[in-house]
Each structure stands twice: as C-alpha cells, then as structure tokens.
Amino acid sequence: MQQFQQYIGGAFSDGAEQFDSLDPATGKVWARMPEASAKDVNAAVEAAEQAFFSPEWAGMTATARGKLLYRLADLIAENAPRLAELETRDTGKIIRETSAQIAYVAEYYRYYAGLADKIEGAHLPIDKPDMEVWLRREPIGVVAAVVPWNSQLFLSAVKIGPALAAGCTVVLKASEEGPAPMLEFARIFDLAGFPKGVLNVITGGPVAGATLTSHPKVAHVAFTGGPETARHIVRNSAKNLASTSLELGGKSPFIVFEDADIESAVNAQVSGIFAATGQSCVAGSRLVVQSSVKDAFLARLKEKAEAVVIGAPDDMATEVGPLCTRRQRDIAVDLIDRSVAQGAKLITGGKPVDREGFYFPPTILDCSEAPNADSLTNEFFGPVLSVVSFETEEEAIAIANNTKFGLASGLFTQNLTRAHRMIKAIRAGIVWVNTYRAVSPIAPFGGHGLSGHGREGGIQAALDYTKIKAVWLRTSDDPIPDPFVMR
C-alpha cells in the first residue's frame, strides 16, 4: 500500500489524520492519504503568507519567476508517465487520456512562464499638468486553490500557473477523492527551485475546505466544483472578503442541424459525453438535434456507444473506464431510473457493468417526450446523454438556453450565417463550432449563471491574480500652497 504526504512550507508530512483511497477499478483500498486538520491548513496559509512577503519571492524579478515556471513545466513533462499512472490509479480516468492531458498540462505552465514578465501597468494621460500618474499591477496575495477529483493536474495548472506568474503564493487543496496525482505533483514542484512556501499542497474534507476558504490571510479563492459547494465558499469568503473565481461545470447543449456533417458530429458527441467517462465539466450532456436527422443520428450514435471498449483504466485499449466513486455510479442509476419514470426512453446502457469496480456504460436517453426529465436539467459526472429534438433555429436556441448553467456549448452546421446567429444567441462561456472539447492555454474558459464567474486560461487569468495600485507623482518644484489661506 502506498503512502502519500502533504506539502507545507517546503516540507513533507503525514498530516494529523489519514484516510484510505479506493481504486475505482476494483473498489479496494490501494493507498493512504493525509487529511489536513485546521492546524495543518493554518500552517499552510502561514507558510504561503511568509513566502509572499519574503525577499526570495517578493524581491524576485518577473523574468526569474518565469524561468522557475519553465523549469516546473520541464519537470512535469519528464514525470508525465508517473503522474498519469497515479491519476489513472486513484481516479479511474483511463491511461490514454491522462497521458495525453498531462503532457499538455506542461504547456499551460510554459504559457504562464512566458507571460510572467508581460503583466504590465499603464500610464494615464491625467488632466492635471503638474502630475504624472501610472498604474502598477501587483500580486493579490495568498491564493486558496480548490480543485475536484476530475482532471486535477489540469484544473490546478490553470490556477497555479497564472497565480505564480503574477507573484502570488498558493495553498492548493486537492480533492479527498483521488488526490494522489496532486500530492505527487508537490514532489515535482519541490525539485523546481521555488522558495519554500510558495506552493503548499494539502487534501481533506469539509474541515480543511472551510478553514482554508475562510482564512483571514487568504486574498483570493479559486474554486472548481459544484454550485452547492461554491455557495459555502462564497459564504466563507465573506469572513475574509476574499475575491473569488468559480468554475462550476454545466449542462452543455450539443446542437446538431440537418446540414451538419453527421459522421463528424457523431464522433464529436462521442468525445463530448463518453470521453473521460463523462466526468468533465464541459461534457456535452444534452444533445439538441434537428428532427429531420434525429433518427439517423441516434442510430449511428447508438452503434458507436455500444462499440466502446469498457475496461481497466490502465489498459491503453480501454476507451471508457470506471467512474471515480461508488457514489457517482449510484447517482447515475438513480438519475436514469427517475428520468425513465418521467417519460424518457432508454436507447442504450443504463445499468452498471457487471464487473468489479465502479463501471457504468455509455448511456443514451431520448427525452423528446419528457422535456422535464431530471437527466436534462441535473448536472452529474457520468457517461449519460439526454436527447431532445427541435424543428426551427429559434426552438434550438430556446432549448439550449433552458438551463441554469452556461459553461460550454457545441454547434454543428455548415451554414455560416446561421453559425454566427447561434454564437451570439447561445448563453455560454464557450461555443465550439463544428468541434468539441478543444482547449488551449491561450484561450480563456468560464461560464455564466450557475456555471460560475471569472475566467481561467489566457492572459485575463493572470490579470485576475493582480490588483491595481495607482501612483501619483507631483512634478512641480513649487511649494504646495496652504489650503486654508484664501487667495
């Protein structure tokens, strides 16, 4: 059984308590993880604050910070096989996905390494002749980064990368579900040469989360997860008046018009909902398909769904692995049963795979006659697709926007003018046209409504980890007149 440690102030420790981590492929314990206590969290925040004000970090040039981030990126690339192996073992995400994604995570750190000395202020053409005024962008302070179990290395990179580039320090709380890759990441970070305390990595449940997000020395909370947890974080942040960025997932529409390249759209839909076993915040979980092509589209999609290779996550031939937890599998079963009772028609899947572990097959529900089915409105992580049909463009827009979320969307059409109308009309932070799940460190992502606020990725993310200081410099040599002498 493997043993993992937390990382606080540049040192590794076991934590006040420990807990078992289950292998989703077997449902059995495979490792012991540290569970941070309130005392551990306090120590991590104190270490981050001390590092933030230390000459080693505060006095470091932006270019030097960038070089450390480049070094970190190289180490991630060198250790990608080990990181991929651990993420697969602890979360059930298949090895072909973790290997590809972690290799690309290094590019996010390289992007922010290059951006570190491009975060600029501004000179203001002020309306006073004897004044020079300019703006400085300075790091906001200690950042609390909280990430869920799916794609932890990626979701932490879009927080740690811009925060360190801006000159902040970070306390990262990994999910208590599958934290192994982040605790291993701490070991890699330790080799990069950053000053002690610049990054601290802990894991644990509600006590650790509440202590961290309400800590008086935390200036910003960057969170990825669900709306209910986000509400707790917003309430907690009221105690320290920390700013927040919240990426909360969604119930993303995948819209297919009759003029679309059907085979291409089917393949994109398979990727959008069955890749990562559906455990993705941008999963295209609502198929909105024009009635004239619905039957043909579903027939082809069903064929591909039933041909998906379900197997052990560490097998390169596997296309869909287990869900991360037994709870996620049980939620899927309950959601599908309720939706069928509400009038949805089960096209394929719907029952747990009869094997050891938390496996669940690609599932398709036709909800055209059940527009209020729970599977159409509730976000949950699993390979379950809900289908509705439409006749007109206006109807497609109405269905797409009939959600409390607004993170991502997909649109498949060969009509350029229609594409532009739809792009404008869809309320979502991302619109993919004739593609899906494409990401880049250069492009920001984030949502509307219950999908949260703030953006991760791109230049804006780094700016969000800064605050503006206005500097006024009087250029006149004349003495300032006495304000109480009338002239």
247 as an active site residue: the answer is: yes
Q: Looking at residue 409, what is its pLDDT?
A: 96
Q: How many domains does the chain have?
A: 2
Going by pLDDT thresholds of 50, 70 and 90, the confidence category of residue 120 is very high
Do 60 and 35 lie in one domain? The reply is yes
Do 29 and 13 lie in one domain? The reply is yes
Do 117 and 196 lie in one domain? The reply is yes
Whether 487 is covered by a domain: the verdict is no
Whether 44 is covered by a domain: the verdict is yes
Which candidate, 412, 390, 413, places its Cα nearest to that of 402?
390
Mean per-residue pLDDT, 390-412: 96
d(CA 178, CA 59): 36
pLDDT, tens digit, for every residue of 413-426?
999 999 999 999 99
Q: Looking at residue 87, what is its pLDDT?
A: 94
Do 242 and 257 lie in one domain? The reply is no
Whether 424 is covered by a domain: the verdict is yes
pLDDT, tens digit, for every residue of 312-367?
999 999 999 898 888 889 999 999 999 999 999 999 998 988 888 899 999 999 99
Neighbours of 127 (CB within 10 A): 7
Do 140 and 273 lie in one domain? The reply is no
Q: Which CATH number covers residue 159?
A: 3.40.605.10
Do 46 and 96 lie in one domain? The reply is yes
Q: Looking at residue 124, what is its pLDDT?
A: 96
Q: For residue 386, is pLDDT > 80?
A: yes
Q: Which residue is catalytic, options 85, 247, 379, 456?
A: 247
Do 421 and 367 lie in one domain? The reply is yes
CB-based contact 8:77 (threshold 8 Å): no
Do 409 and 463 lie in one domain? The reply is no
pLDDT, tens digit, for every residue of 191-211?
999 999 999 999 998 999 999
Containing structural domain, residue 172: 2-248+447-472
Q: Looking at residue 475, what is its pLDDT?
A: 95
CA distances from 220 to 122, 145, 265, 268 (A): 23, 8, 40, 36
Q: For residue 486, is pLDDT > 80?
A: no
Q: Looking at residue 280, what is its pLDDT?
A: 87
Q: Which CATH number covers residue 358?
A: 3.40.309.10
Mean per-residue pLDDT, 387-402: 96
| 456: helix, strand or coil | strand
Do 417 and 282 lie in one domain? The reply is yes
Q: What is the pTM of this model?
A: 0.94
